[in-house]
Amino acid sequence: MWQMRTAFLPPFGTIVVAAVVPLAAGLYLLTSGAWTAAERAVLRRGVVLAGA
């Protein structure tokens, strides 16, 4: 009897994965882009100070 109940779970798992994976990918891209922008700003500031 429990097998019939658990047969309904995999489609819901797919829905959860389909919702979470794009969110995680977007968060990764946002974090990576922000880190790169901050790193470039810091490095650019060091180049400007060294040239002054």
Buried b (16+ CB within 10 A) or exposed e, 19-28: eeeeeeeeee
Question: What confidence score (pLDDT) does residue 37 get?
Answer: 96
- The tens digit of pLDDT for each residue in 8-47 reads 778 888 888 998 999 999 999 999 999 999 999 999 888 7
Question: What confidence score (pLDDT) does residue 32 get?
Answer: 98
